[in-house]
Amino acid sequence: MPVYLSGEDNNSSIKKIGKYFPWHPHKAMGGSSVNYDKYSKSILDFKEGKSGELNKFLDLINPLLGSNFLICVALSHVAYAAPGPLHKLSNLLPSLGSERIDASNTLIRFKTIDKLSRGGSRSLDTHMQSIKIYNPEIIRGKDILLIDDVTTSGNSLGACKTLLLAAGVKSVQCLALG
């Protein structure tokens, strides 16, 4: 059963809510906060936990979703990092739709990797060797929505998806804010 109401059921794709333009290249090319893309700024503000952005993304995502699935989130580069904005999003989406379950603590980064936006390795292997599944019995046989804030290469989502499928989930659909 597709997770998205939009009819998207291609398990190999990543649905992106909007286009993200990284801040550092923008700034390096002479850009400033005055002419920075508003949607990209919203993503950065969301990642920093700024007020109002969580509700903005809830409003954007909720209409795309159906029901009867678990929600997992892509992970910070830091091992055992405290739950962040994606976890909060995953906590709130179930209250907006029937039979949605927060499973945001299922994926665990057990080994810190270099920050990707600062030149860290984006390889699939880097992610595969630093993430594990916690309590796989919770997700076995279930449909999963896997959410990330920003995707560049898709390898972080790809590694999480591979691990989830290997743990016996029924299907995984990926969604990125940008």
Q: Does 9 score more than 50 pLDDT?
A: no
- pLDDT surpassing 90 at residue 29: yes
Query: What digits encode the pLDDT tens for the residues 86-144?
Result: 999 999 999 887 789 999 999 999 999 887 666 666 678 888 999 999 999 999 999 99
pTM for the full model? 0.89
Give, to the nearest 10 degrees, the angle between helix 53-61 and helix 85-92: 50
User: Distances in Å between the alpha carbon of 15 and those of 25, 28, 60, 170, 172?
Assistant: 24, 28, 13, 19, 12
